[in-house]
Amino acid sequence: MDTVNFETKADALNDSFNIVERQEAQDAALATLRSDVDEVKGRLEKVSRAAARPLLDGAGVGSGPEVKGFVDGYLRHGRETELKSMMTTVGAEGGFAVPREIDTIIARRMVEISPIRAVANVVRTGTSGFRRLISTGGTASGWVSETGARPETANPQLAEIVPPMGELYANPSATQAMLDDAAFDLEGWLANEIATEFARAEGAAFINGTGTNQPRGFLNATPSVAGDATRAFGSLQFIGSGNATGLGMAPEARLIDLVCQLKAPLRQGAVWVMNSTTLAAVRKLKTADGAFLWQPGLVNGQPDRLLGYAVIEAEDMPDVAADQFPIAFGNFKAGYLITERRQTSILRDPYTNKPYVQFYATRRVGGQVLDSDAIKLLRIAA
C-alpha cells in the first residue's frame, strides 16, 4: 500500500508565541548589556575622579607591586613581611630602602631646591666610601718628529680625593588617621617632606660644612691669593673687595677681575653664587655709562645673569661683612664633587611619639672641592 506524506503547517498562534519569546530574550540581553555598560561607566568615572584629584605635591608615584607593598603594607600599616619577600635591603633596626620610584622623586625634588646640588658634580655610589685620583700637574706628552726619539716625560702628579661623608636624616611624622585615609597621597607627601629637609641640611653643608660627619663645604677650603700656577692643591684663590667692610668703590671692576681669574675653558658653565642680601646690593651696580650689570632673564625659566653668567641664590652664603666670602664664581660641575649612596632608607616608628607615626629617613651624603682651579672667591678685605 502506498504511503502518503502530509506536510503540517505551523499554527499561526504558536508562531506568535515564538516571536514573543524571542522579543523577551532580546530585551533581557539588552538589559544585561546596559547593566555592563553602566558598570564600565562607573569604573571610568572613579578612575577619572582619582586622576583629577591633585596630589599633595604633584609627584605621581608609580603604582607597581613594590611601591604598593611598601606604601600600603609598611608605611600605612607597618607590615614588614611583605617587604622581606620583595626587597633585598632589609633591616628592622636600620630601616628599609625605599622603592626606586619614590627615591627618584626625592632626588629630583632635592635638585630643585638645593642650589649647589643643582650645579655640582653628583656621583652615586653603592658603598659609603668613595675615592678618586686626579692629576694635579706633570708633563705626560710632548712633540717629536716622525723618526725622532721619544724622550721620557715627567711623571704626572696625582692627588686622592676622599669626600667626607655623613648620615643625613629627616624625621617627618603623621597621625594614624592620615595614614588610614586612602585618599591621602602618602608616598608623595613623604617624598616631599624628606626631600625638603635633606635639601635644607645639605645646602648648608655644601657651603659651610666642616668635613666632620658631614661634607666639607667649599668655603672651608684653604683660601689663598696665589694664582693657579703656584697655589697649593685644594686651596681656593680669592681677591679682595678693596674695602674692609663692603664691596668697595668700584665693585664692578672686582667682579670682572673675578671672572677673568677663572681659566677660559672653565668659564663655560660657570655661575655666580651668593645670598639674596648680597644679590640686592649687586643688582644696583652700574657701569660708567649708567647701565646695570644685572641682566634679568628674558625667557621664563631662564636664570638672571651678571656679566653674562647665571646667578644662583644660596641663602647659606655669608652676608657682606669684614673677612667674609659673600660671592663665589666658578664652574661647580668641575669644581665641587657630591657623593651619595644610591637609596634612601626609612624606618617606621609608631611608638616614640604617640599618637603620631614617625618616619626616620636617612641617606649618606658627602662633598668636597674637586678642582680648586674651578672656583674663585671674593673676600671683603682691603
Q: Is residue 149 part of a domain?
A: no
pLDDT, tens digit (0-9, with 9 covering 90-100), for 353-363: 888 889 999 98
Q: Are residues 242 and 199 in the same domain?
A: no
Residue 109 burial (CB count, 10 A): 20
Bridge partners of 128, per DSSP, are: none
Q: Are residues 93 and 187 in the same domain?
A: yes
Pair 134, 161: CB distance under 8 Å: yes
Q: Is residue 112 part of a domain?
A: yes
**Which contiguous run of DSSP H or E holds residue 237?**
strand 236-240
φ and ψ at 150, to 5 degrees?
-100, 95
Q: Which residue has the cell 575622579?
A: 49
Q: Is residue 151 part of a domain?
A: no
Number of domains in the chain: 2
pLDDT attached to residue 83 = 58
Residue 100, domain CATH:
3.30.2400
Q: Is residue 23 part of a domain?
A: no
Which positions of the chain have pLDDT values less than 50?
6, 10, 50-60, 85-90
Q: Are residues 191 and 293 in the same domain?
A: no
Q: Are residues 258 and 363 in the same domain?
A: no
**Which contiguous run of DSSP H or E holds residue 132?**
strand 132-137
Q: Beta strands 345-349 and 356-369: pairing type?
A: antiparallel
Q: Is residue 27 part of a domain?
A: no
Q: Is residue 51 part of a domain?
A: no
Q: Are residues 207 and 97 in the same domain?
A: yes
**Which contiguous run of DSSP H or E holds residue 119?**
helix 115-119
pLDDT attached to residue 65 = 65
Checking 225-232 for CB contacts under 8 A at 24+ apart, the result is 227/261, 228/263, 228/373, 231/372
CA distances from 70 to 20, 78, 82, 133, 184 (A): 58, 9, 8, 39, 15
Q: Are residues 291 and 196 in the same domain?
A: no
Q: Are residues 162 and 276 in the same domain?
A: no
Residue 282 CA to its chain's centroid (Å): 29
Q: Which domain holds residue 288?
A: 221-335
pLDDT attached to residue 68 = 76
**What does pTM read for this prediction?**
0.75
Q: Are residues 241 and 187 in the same domain?
A: no
Q: Are residues 270 and 357 in the same domain?
A: no
pLDDT attached to residue 221 = 94
pLDDT attached to residue 55 = 40
Burial label, 288 (beta-carbon count in 10 A; 0-12, 13-18, 19+): exposed
Q: Are residues 123 and 228 in the same domain?
A: no
Q: Are residues 205 and 354 in the same domain?
A: yes
Residue 66 CA to its chain's centroid (Å): 22
Q: Is residue 36 part of a domain?
A: no
Within 8 A by CB and 6+ apart from 138, the residues are: 153, 154, 155, 156, 157
Within 8 A by CB and 6+ apart from 350, the residues are: 78, 176, 357, 358
Q: Are residues 205 and 116 in the same domain?
A: yes
pLDDT attached to residue 81 = 64
User: What DSSP character marks residue 310?
Assistant: E
Q: Is residue 297 part of a domain?
A: yes
